[in-house]
Amino acid sequence: MIKALEFTTETTKEREIYVKLPDDVPAGPTKFLIFLMLPEQKTLNTLGDLLNSEFFGMWKDRTDVTNDYARQLRQQAWSRSL
């Protein structure tokens, strides 16, 4: 027999969850199938999204990354075939 139960719980830092099952669930060996409903991650769809992301200006305070090096990386990335 398959019984569907829906729970909302918090996941701990150790990636553990604690669930108290209803009284009508018998004791003994039990097989669980768990589906995680994770929040959707926002994608970068526009230039404005990119400008407001953590990626824009991420090297601005780095002293070990020169403009020439950054320009070379951009040029390599832009010249890759799709």
In a domain, 15, yes or no: yes
Number of domains forming the structure of the chain: 1
Is 73 within the bounds of a domain?
Answer: no
Q: What is the pLDDT of residues 44-63, one digit of tens each?
A: 678 888 788 888 888 788 88
* pLDDT at residue 11 tops 80: yes
Spatial separation of the C-alpha atoms in residues 21 and 51, rounded to whole Å: 47
Separation of alpha carbons 7 and 13, rounded Å:
19
**Structural domain of residue 8, as residue ranges?**
1-37
Flag whether the pTM goes above 0.85: no
CA distance 15 to 7: 16
The pLDDT of residue 14: 93
Report pLDDT for 81.
62
